[in-house]
Amino acid sequence: TEQPEGHDEL
Amino acid sequence: MNIFRLAGDMTHLLSILVLLLKIYATKSCSGISRKTQELYAIVFMARYLDLFTDFISVYNTFMKLIFIASSLAIVWCMRFHPVVRRSYDRELDTFRYFFLVGASFALALVWHDKFTLQEVFWAFSIYLEAVAILPQLVLLQRSGNVDNLTGQYVFFLGAYRAFYILNWIYRYMTEPRFTRWIAGISGVVQTALYADFFYYYFISWKNNSKLKLPA
């Protein structure tokens, strides 16, 4: 899935 | 999660613990810019709007809560704690940070991933964090000698984003189609703003002398 930028990082 | 990002998050957490230690141990916030603390509180609240909607991991949620709670607690202490608030360098902490907030939000309206409330606020938080340290750096230049804990706080706060840059390089090399242009470019700008502080911090460490930023 194309994760929107940055949302798995703090 | 890779070692660079873990090191970045731990360094960021360490910077917050050092700041809390300084305020708690010395019951003083001299040398600390309340404006930078307020900007960081805005950064975390704007970035973590997805706190209750997107669950990534226990670690992710836990750290978001820590960052939001600690930044608000520090601002509260500097504004309302009867003892701490007296040591606030009000006349030195005069950076007109409203422009930083306005410019970051304007840029987020133009450059974002998707034009949704959450994505615009996320980009806003990224741009604002890149410049949030400016009031603190200006205060350090004006307040002459810098106490050790304050110097360590700023050092770790600058170092954490440098680890994140290594994390983005690592992910770019190991994950197909990985891009983080907004966070990456802002992160480089953010870390670059610390360049002269890192230089004088290194000099003071090498000469074992007091940290002093030229006015």
Task: Give residue-wise pLDDT tens across range B21-30.
Answer: 999 999 999 9
Q: Which residues of B touch A (CB under 8 A)?
A: 5, 9, 12, 50, 54, 56, 60, 63-64, 67, 113-114, 119, 122, 126, 164, 167, 179-183
Q: Is the pLDDT of residue A3 over 60?
A: no
Alpha-carbon distance of B79 to B83, in angstroms, equals 10
Digit-coded pLDDT (tens) for B158-205 = 999 999 999 999 999 999 989 899 999 999 999 999 999 999 999 999
Point out the residue among A5, A8, A10 whose CB comes nearest to the CB of B64: A10
Q: Would you state the structure tokens that stand for residue B201, as one six-digit string?
A: 């911090």
Report CB contact under 8 Å: B122, A6: yes
Q: What is the DSSP string of chain B?
A: --HHHHHHHHHHHHHHHHHHHHHHHHS--TT--HHHHHHHHHHHHHHTGGGTT----HHHHHHHHHHHHHHHHHHHHHHH-TTGGGG--TTT----THHHHHHHHHHHHHS-SSSSHHHHHHHHHHHHHHHTTHHHHHHHHHT-B--HHHHHHHHHHHHHHHHHHHHHHHHHHHSTT---HHHHHHHHHHHHHTHHHHHHHHHHHHTT---B---
Q: Is the pLDDT of residue B11 over 70?
A: yes
Percent of chain B residues topping a pLDDT of 70: 100
Report CB contact under 8 Å: B12, A8: no
Q: Is the pLDDT of residue B105 over 50?
A: yes
Point out the residue among A5, A7, A9 whose CB comes nearest to the CB of B50: A7
What are the sequence ranges of the domains in chain B? 3-207
With beta carbons under 8 A apart, name residues in chain A contacting B181.
Answer: 5
Which chain A residue has its CA at the smallest distance from B64's CA? A10
Torsions phi, psi for B170 (to 5 deg): -60, -45
Q: Is the pLDDT of residue A5 over 70?
A: no
Q: Is the pLDDT of residue A1 over 80?
A: no
Q: Is the pLDDT of residue B89 over 90?
A: yes
Mean pLDDT in residue range B125-148: 95
Q: Is the pLDDT of residue B144 over 90?
A: no
Write down the residue that tokens 């809560």 correspond to.
Answer: B65
Report CB contact under 8 Å: A10, B67: yes
Report CB contact under 8 Å: B183, A9: yes
pLDDT of the residue at A6: 54
Rounded to the nearest angstrom, the minimum Cα separation between B56 and chain A is 7
Model confidence band, residue B145 (pLDDT cutoffs 50, 70, 90): confident
Element (H, E) at B160: helix B148-174
Mean pLDDT in residue range B8-28: 98
3-state DSSP: chain A helix, strand, coil percent, rounded to 5?
A: 0, 0, 100
With beta carbons under 8 A apart, name residues in chain A contacting B126.
Answer: 6
Model confidence band, residue B45 (pLDDT cutoffs 50, 70, 90): very high
